[in-house]
Structure 1
Amino acid sequence: MKRPLRTTDATTTTEGDAALDATFEALADADCRAILAAAATPKTTSELAEDCDIALSTAYRKVELLSETPLLAEGVRFDPDGDHAAEYVRDAADAAVELGDDGVSLTVDDGGTDPLRAALDAPGVSAD
Structure 2
Amino acid sequence: MKTSKKSAAIGHQHQNRHYALKLMTAIAVSAFGTIAVNAAYAQSTSSSILGKAPTGSTITVHSDKGITRHGSPNDTGRYNLPALIPGTFVVSLERDGKTLATVQGVPLFAGRASEVDFACDNDQCTGSFNH
Q: TM-score, normalised by structure 2?
A: 0.23
Larger radius of gyration: 2
Structure with the higher fraction of residues in strand conformation: 2
State the structure with bigger RCO (CA 8 A, min sep 6), 1 or 2. 1
Q: TM-score, normalised by structure 1?
A: 0.23
